[in-house]
């Protein structure tokens, strides 16, 4: 999603979100990620304006008062936390761990294949299809990427072929390198 994202070319508009929009976003985020409720005032304080950044391909990025991207979504899909936010609050998303051999591929934007999730160095959280997950790596502390499961955990184990998780945001992609918006 953000592999070829360039701030100068991809951003079409930026404005402060209305308070009613901010309330709706916060309710949606709490419904999706119940563990974050106690920390939401730290992520998006009530008194501070939330910036709504419109991008090409129907991508919408929410930035905090400092202009740092905290959530994004495509079309009317679910809000997905940015990797920088995930590094501050790693408990937001369930974790899927890949083995050491998959790290370089994940960091280049490749999708996560089933064998990379079922090998000895990998670990999976029991999940259904279409769940947003943090992609961790064997021997690493922080998440490498954020993805969406294409199969349930049971299917990944039984088939052990094909794409298990779609990689949508990873370290050093366009969103990661995005400068704070003013």
Structure tokens at 15: 């404005």
pLDDT of residue 67: 87
For the stretch 89-112, pLDDT in tens is 999 999 999 999 999 999 999 999
Find out whether 26 and 40 touch, Cβ atoms under 8 Å: yes
pLDDT band at 88 (very low <50, low <70, confident <90, very high): very high
Half-sphere exposure of 116 (CA within 13 A, CB side): 24
From 170, 179, 127, select the one nearest 4 (Cα to Cα): 170
DSSP-H helix ranges across 11-128? 19-32, 40-43, 83-88, 103-107, 114-118
At 11 the three-state DSSP class reads strand
User: What are the distances in angstroms from CA 62 to CA 25, 97, 102, 155?
Assistant: 9, 27, 30, 34
Phi-psi region of 21 (alpha: psi -120 to 50; beta: other; left: phi over 0): alpha
The pTM score is 0.89
Question: What's the average model confidence in pLDDT over 17-23?
Answer: 89
At 76 the three-state DSSP class reads coil
Cα torsion 15, 20, 23, 27: sign: negative
Residues 6+ away with beta carbon under 8 Å from 6: 174
Residues 6+ away with beta carbon under 8 Å from 159: 114, 151
pLDDT of residue 44: 87
For the stretch 112-165, pLDDT in tens is 999 999 999 899 999 999 999 999 999 999 999 999 999 999 999 999 999 999
For the stretch 32-84, pLDDT in tens is 998 888 998 898 888 888 999 998 888 999 998 888 999 999 888 999 999 99
Find out whether 87 and 135 touch, Cβ atoms under 8 Å: no
pLDDT band at 3 (very low <50, low <70, confident <90, very high): confident
For the stretch 138-151, pLDDT in tens is 999 999 999 999 99
Find out whether 44 and 17 touch, Cβ atoms under 8 Å: no
């Amino acid at each position: 999603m953000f592999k070829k994202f360039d701030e100068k070319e991809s951003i079409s508009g930026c404005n402060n979100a209305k308070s009613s929009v901010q309330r709706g976003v916060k309710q949606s985020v709490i419904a999706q990620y119940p563990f974050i409720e106690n920390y939401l005032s730290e992520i998006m304080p009530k008194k501070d304006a939330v910036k709504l950044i419109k991008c090409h391909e129907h991508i919408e990025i929410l930035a905090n008062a400092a202009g740092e991207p905290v959530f994004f979504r495509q079309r009317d899909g679910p809000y997905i936390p940015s990797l920088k936010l995930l590094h501050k609050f790693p408990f937001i998303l369930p974790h899927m761990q890949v083995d050491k051999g998959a790290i370089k591929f994940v960091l280049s934007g490749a999708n996560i294949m089933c064998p990379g999730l079922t090998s000895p160095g990998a670990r999976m959280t029991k999940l259904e299809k279409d769940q947003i997950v943090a992609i961790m790596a064997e021997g690493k502390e922080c998440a490498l990427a954020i993805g969406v499961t294409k199969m349930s955990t049971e299917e990944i184990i039984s088939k052990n072929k094909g794409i298990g998780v779609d990689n949508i945001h990873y370290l050093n992609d366009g969103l990661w390198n995005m400068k704070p918006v003013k």
